[in-house]
Structure 1
Amino acid sequence: MAALDTVFHDLHRQGLLMLANVGDAGGARLVERLGSKAVATSSAAMAWNHGYQDGNKLPLELLRSTIASMTRVLSVPLTVDIEGGYSDDPAQVANVIDAVIAAGAVGVNIEDGVGSPDLLIRKVDAARKVAERHGVNLFVNVRCDVYLKNLLPAEQRLEELLKRAAQYANAGADGLFAAGVVEPHEIAAVCRESRLPVNLLWRAGLAAPDELQRLGVRRLSAGSAIAEFLYGAMGGLARSFLEHGHLDTQALKAHTYGELNSLMAPRAE
């Protein structure tokens, strides 16, 4: 049987890999049982499950223990969203990568955010060195946030994304997470020009999976969308029970990312 790291790399050459991102071991086991060929975490879902905000807030020990709880129950590859590596110091990012691999994951997402591409390149280099030390062919999926965070005017975004994609490929990244790209002609351009398999983030109105695969997309992630609905449903059910003593399932709706991240803000002293 092939090692899980090899399996995960191969999945990016076998059509469109669909990843329903989760935040805990129960969710991971459920997604695997539904037939998913791999499991991915959502950094937001994982942070919210522990009462932390998304945004590099989750303590390393909780990250490590949550990953370990997932790999304990999984027989498919696990890839972990580590945001920006929880630090701007590549040495600290190396510690995070070490913990992630030791806990059993074979892939990571790491993002540039509003930082410079050069900083992410140094983080990717740190990740590669740690993975080599462990003897793991870690799949490093780099998330470029030019679109997601509206870093440039719309007419400049595609050129900047492709420029960064080339830099990240040269630095040893294995995948490009072009989060926020939704227009078919831009998706096609990214898939055509990038040397890396392209990952998209689900958004309402995004083309259907068959069309995305035709355009060249290799991976589609739910991101925090599933967790947003789950917390919204939990809130609706809890409210109906507390107010009326029964569970009203008729009016369930998702919370927004902003609502949930605000809810998890530290309490004032």
Structure 2
Amino acid sequence: MSQSDRAKAFADLHKPGSPVVLYNMWDAGSAAAVAKAGASALATGSWSVAVAQGYADGEDLPMELLFQIAGRITATTELPVSVDFEGGYATDPEELSLNIKRLLATGAVGLNFEDRVVGGEGLHDIASQVARIKAIRATADATGIPLYINARTDLFLQSKPDAHASLIDDALARAEAYTKAGASGFFVPGLTDPELIKQICEQVSLPVNVLCLDTSADIKPLAALGVARISFGPAPYRTAMKTLTAQAAQHY
């Protein structure tokens, strides 16, 4: 299957009410384990990839090393692979375009792309983020690969739950703008209120991605809200390391 075919297959997995489940991994070994479990697609989590290599989240992991890890993952699986690319390691659209070309060269068919100011405060304004998403889409289109751009808003991660209802209109405005810019999906990590998630799913035309931080959770209720993608973020890494520590402790 070609990279383009894998990208199309990945997009097709995003079905509201019957979501693609991404149990986020951090290297080729964890990717193989998740694939063996029956996954239909694979996705990295930036926090897990960074911490597994001794770095902090927030683009502290060198981009070259991220590309190496992504390349090893895609080289060892036929499944579609999405990479958490944070803010793309660039603010300027032209520089971002160069980075996207290199990401595509790893064999990845999707990416998470967030609107927070990495290393700074707050979010990029809508116009700036739209310009960046447009650059990603144009770069991917020029290669002939229908890259899945999972446009993430950090509105909810950067606020307390009791303020989330007041942010829905802002989120919907960003969703509409990102859709027009060429985004493939809309990611709302931090949003956990079922009614608010349902509202987003009903009013956003893109497939909606939510974050679940409980690796043992029943995801059926989330699916019933109309989400099209469920990610586990750093939870799988934390669970795996907790188990590893407990097992190792038996021998000391």
- Shared topology, TM-score over 0.5? yes
**Alpha-carbon separation, structure 2, partners of 1:215 and 1:88:** 34
- The structure whose Rg is larger is 1
1:43–1:82 CA contact under 8 A, matched in 2:
yes
Match of 2:199 among 189, 213, 222: 189
Amino acid at match of 1:120: Q
Instruction: Provide the secondary structure at the position in 1 that maps to 2:190.
Output: coil
* Contact preservation (8 Å) 2:97, 2:135: yes
Letter of the aligned partner of 2:231 in structure 1? Answer: S
How far 1:127 moved relative to its partner?
Answer: 0.8
Residues 203 and 157 (structure 1 numbering): CA distance in 2 closer, same or farther, change over 3 Å? Answer: farther
Map 1:69-84 → 2, pairs under 5 A: 69-84=72-87
Of the three residues 165, 189, 196, the one matched with 2:175 is 165
The one-character-per-residue Cα deviations of 1:45-84 (angstroms, maximum 9, x if unpaired) are 1111221110011212101111110001111100000011
In structure 2, C-alpha distance between the alignment counterparts of 1:203 and 1:7, rounded to whole Å: 26
2:113 is the counterpart of 1:104 = no
Deviations along 1:176-226, one digit per CA (max 9) or x if unpaired, are: 001111111111100000010000000359984222222110000000111
SS in 1 for 2:47: helix
How many residues are aligned here?
A: 242
| Whole-angstrom distance in 2 between the partners of 1:131 and 1:173 | 12
Gaps of 5+ in 1: 248-269
- Distance in 1 of aligned mates of 2:215 and 2:43: 22
Mapped partners of 1:190, 1:93: distance in 2:
28
2:235 is matched with which residue? 225
List, as ranges, runs of 4+ consecutive aligned residues in structure 1 with deviation greater than 4 Å: 204-207, 235-238
Give 3-state SS (helix, strand or coil) of 1:153's partner: helix
Q: Name the structure 2 match of 1:179.
A: 189
Describe how 1:42-191 pairs up with structure 2 within 5 A: 42-113=45-116, 114-115=122-123, 116-150=125-159, 153-191=163-201
- Cα distance in 2, alignment partners of residues 26 and 205 from structure 1: 19
Deviation at 1:236, TM superposition (A): 4.5
Query: In structure 2, do the counterparts of structure 1 residues 199 and 206 end up closer, same or farther at CA, with 3 Å as the change threshold?
Result: farther
Identity across matched positions, percent? 35
User: Aligned letter for 1:8?
Assistant: F
Q: Which fold has the larger relative contact order, with Cα–Cα distance below 8 Å and residues 6 or more apart in sequence? A: 2
